[in-house]
């Protein structure tokens, strides 16, 4: 079936009429929740290699504390909360990095930042196959149709308009450059190697909001794939709530004059007089988007054969006029974007799969972005390549934690602000700062279970644990192939 064209003019008025944004704040219908609780859930053995549809929805810079079900008090996320109530919260799930490009690289390749090629932001892109093979390429080999809509995860900046397609995505619509994705009224986007222009927009202002375009394309894609027996993998990468602080007025208006607004440094982002209200409106937009996608799956009657995962690429930020403290966005954790404290890397993560995932369940299984690719491969009936660092969390989703393989440790490295390394090892969290100055400098040690805010450095009390974490940092770090990443 051919793709429905999106080159026709689209305004917010026609979009709102078509997709009924007026009900954005309502909760999903709980009808299937009763059915899911009443029916016997599938066992792990019955769902292995079941080849379900797979959707990974990725927010951009959304903090762990931005969901009301995880503690947000300044605004609510009724639809994400409902998704959690009908599915599972992964309470100890970590992003791949603390900024966009490397985090997405770990998600798509199954490798952590000690091994993956793209270990930081910048003018870097995935190399041609057989390098940097994506989960999309691997799922295509298993007969899946693949799509990526929104902000590209295969390049921080690329001039090759066909790169997403070359890296395994049958369909791509969105931004190739992350800097361009900072703007929400694009003058142009890429659709399968071709440029689509929007003369009504100038980047910062305009008639067509990029989020509306991406949601429309996603709903069209689901309509099309529902007519096929071929399973699909959809990676929907939103821009919200990344700065610029920008969202259609109907989402921002309910929050105006509700908070004591502060003016923070904005860098190169558009000035926003109401940063706290606009940020809340952007979270509401994410919440609305998730509602529409899950609603569409139910309308098409494919929800019971579709695994949906929602997460964020790193913690909330302090830029563009917003600071994560305004809404306690990363609570209860320390720090934010560009930190390797948990505020920068522990992210809100939900899994939803009616009649398979136990409604209202929570798991403290320690997992990370590089576990997604092995999970998807197991569902598709494929083996997990030895170069992947991840392990499938399918047993956790199936409610059989006794069969879940656990990581010995998780590892991150980051090349800004003097260089940083971090390890999660059971209840312990080790962090080394200023690595570029001293590759074997002091390690801060926290009991992340008893002290999630990472306030009490226990390195002196537990030198044996510090030595172990130092060894893990040496073991996990390999010499980067790209010259800009050097410790």
Q: From first to last of the 487 residues of the chain, give the pLDDT tens digit.
A: 333 333 334 444 443 333 333 333 333 433 333 333 445 688 888 888 789 999 999 999 999 999 999 999 999 999 999 999 999 999 999 999 999 999 999 999 999 999 999 999 988 999 999 999 999 999 999 999 999 999 999 999 999 999 999 999 999 999 999 999 999 999 999 999 999 999 999 999 999 999 999 999 999 999 999 999 999 999 999 999 999 999 999 999 999 999 999 888 788 898 899 999 999 999 999 999 999 999 999 999 999 999 999 999 999 999 999 999 999 999 999 999 999 999 999 999 999 999 999 999 999 999 999 999 999 999 999 999 999 999 999 999 999 999 999 999 999 999 999 999 999 999 999 999 999 999 999 999 999 999 999 999 999 999 999 999 999 999 999 998 887 787 8
Looking at the structure, tell me whether residues 102 and 191 fall in a common domain.
Answer: yes
Q: Which residue has the tokens 């299984």?
A: 365
DSSP 259: S
Strand partners, 58: 237, 311
Joined tokens for residue 240: 């919200």
Domain that holds residue 18: 12-407
Among 359, 392, 407, give the residue marking a domain's end: 407
Looking at the structure, tell me whether residues 326 and 467 fall in a common domain.
Answer: no
Looking at the structure, tell me whether residues 312 and 284 fall in a common domain.
Answer: yes
Q: How do strand 93-94 and strand 367-368 relate by DSSP bridges? A: parallel
Please report whether residue 334 resides in a domain: yes
Looking at the structure, tell me whether residues 126 and 265 fall in a common domain.
Answer: yes
Looking at the structure, tell me whether residues 441 and 342 fall in a common domain.
Answer: no
Looking at the structure, tell me whether residues 173 and 99 fall in a common domain.
Answer: yes
Element of type H or E holding 414: strand 410-414
Among 407, 433, 459, give the residue marking a domain's end: 407
- Contact between 243 and 319 under an 8 Å Cβ cutoff? The reply is yes
Looking at the structure, tell me whether residues 320 and 420 fall in a common domain.
Answer: no
Count the Cβ atoms, other than its own, within 10 Å of residue 355: 17
CA distance linking residue 121 with residue 118, whole number of Å? 8
Please report whether residue 4 resides in a domain: no
Looking at the structure, tell me whether residues 373 and 432 fall in a common domain.
Answer: no
Looking at the structure, tell me whether residues 325 and 471 fall in a common domain.
Answer: no
Structural domains of the chain, count: 2
Please report whether residue 460 resides in a domain: yes
Please report whether residue 486 resides in a domain: no
Looking at the structure, tell me whether residues 94 and 239 fall in a common domain.
Answer: yes
Among 387, 407, 427, give the residue marking a domain's end: 407
Please report whether residue 484 resides in a domain: no
Q: For position 421, which CATH number holds?
A: 3.30.1120.10
CA distance linking residue 442 with residue 129, whole number of Å? 39
Q: For position 64, which CATH number holds?
A: 3.40.720.10
CA distance linking residue 240 with residue 257, whole number of Å? 21
Please report whether residue 481 resides in a domain: no
Please report whether residue 485 resides in a domain: no
Q: Which of 66, 56, 6 is nearest to 285 (CA)?
A: 66
Preceding amide of 80 cis, omega within 30 = no
- Contact between 155 and 179 under an 8 Å Cβ cutoff? The reply is no
Which residues touch 466 (CB under 8 Å, ≥6 apart)?
430, 443, 445, 459
Element of type H or E holding 420: strand 420-425
Q: Where are the beta strands (DSSP E) in 198-258?
A: 232-237
Looking at the structure, tell me whether residues 399 and 452 fall in a common domain.
Answer: no
Looking at the structure, tell me whether residues 273 and 126 fall in a common domain.
Answer: yes
Entry pTM: 0.91
CA distance linking residue 343 with residue 324, whole number of Å? 10
CA distance linking residue 428 with residue 426, whole number of Å? 5
Please report whether residue 5 resides in a domain: no
């Amino acid at each position: 079936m051919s793709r429905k064209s999106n080159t026709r003019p689209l305004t917010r008025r026609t979009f709102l009429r078509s997709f009924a944004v007026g009900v954005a704040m309502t909760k999903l219908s709980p009808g299937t929740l009763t059915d899911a609780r009443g029916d016997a859930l599938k066992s792990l053995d019955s769902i292995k290699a079941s080849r379900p549809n797979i959707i990974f929805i990725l927010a951009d810079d959304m903090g762990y504390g931005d969901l009301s079900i995880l503690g947000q008090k300044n605004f609510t996320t009724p639809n994400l909360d409902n998704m959690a109530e009908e599915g599972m919260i992964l309470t100890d799930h970590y992003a791949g990095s603390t900024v966009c490009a490397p985090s997405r690289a770990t998600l798509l390749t199954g490798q952590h930042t000690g091994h993956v090629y793209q270990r930081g932001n910048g003018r870097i892109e995935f190399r041609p196959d057989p390098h940097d093979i994506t989960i999309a390429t691997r799922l295509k080999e298993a007969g899946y149709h693949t799509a990526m809509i929104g902000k590209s995860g295969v390049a921080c900046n690329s001039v090759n308009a066909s790169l997403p397609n070359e890296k395994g995505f049958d369909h791509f619509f969105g931004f190739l450059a992350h800097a361009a994705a900072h703007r929400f009224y694009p003058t142009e986007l890429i659709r399968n190697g071709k440029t689509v222009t929007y003369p009504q927009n100038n980047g910062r202002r305009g008639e067509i909001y990029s989020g509306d375009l991406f949601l429309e394309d996603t709903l069209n894609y689901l309509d099309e794939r529902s007519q096929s027996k071929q399973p699909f993998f959809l990676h929907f990468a939103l821009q919200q709530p990344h700065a610029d602080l920008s969202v259609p007025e109907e989402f921002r208006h309910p929050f105006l004059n509700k908070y004591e607004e502060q003016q923070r440094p904005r860098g190169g982002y558009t000035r926003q007089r109401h940063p706290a209200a606009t940020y809340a409106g952007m979270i509401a937009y994410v919440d609305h988007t998730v509602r529409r996608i899950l609603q569409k799956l139910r309308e098409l009657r494919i929800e019971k054969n579709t695994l949906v995962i929602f997460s964020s690429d790193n913690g909330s930020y302090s830029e563009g006029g917003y600071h994560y403290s305004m809404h306690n966005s990363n609570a209860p954790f320390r720090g934010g974007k560009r930190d390797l404290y948990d505020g920068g890397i522990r992210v809100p993560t939900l899994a939803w799969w009616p009649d398979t995932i136990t409604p209202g369940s929570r798991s403290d299984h320690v997992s990370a972005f590089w576990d997604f690719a092995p999970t998807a491969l197991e569902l598709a009936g494929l083996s997990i390549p030895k170069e992947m660092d991840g392990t499938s969390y399918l047993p956790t989703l199936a409610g059989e934690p006794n069969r879940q393989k656990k990581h010995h440790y998780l590892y991150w490295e980051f090349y800004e602000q003097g260089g940083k390394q971090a390890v999660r090892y059971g209840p312990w969290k080790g962090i080394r700062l200023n690595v570029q100055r001293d590759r074997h400098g002091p390690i801060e040690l926290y009991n992340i279970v008893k002290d999630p805010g990472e306030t009490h450095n226990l390195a002196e009390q537990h030198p044996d644990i510090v030595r172990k974490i130092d060894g893990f940092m040496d073991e996990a770090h390999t010499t980067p192939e790209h010259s800009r990443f050097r410790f």
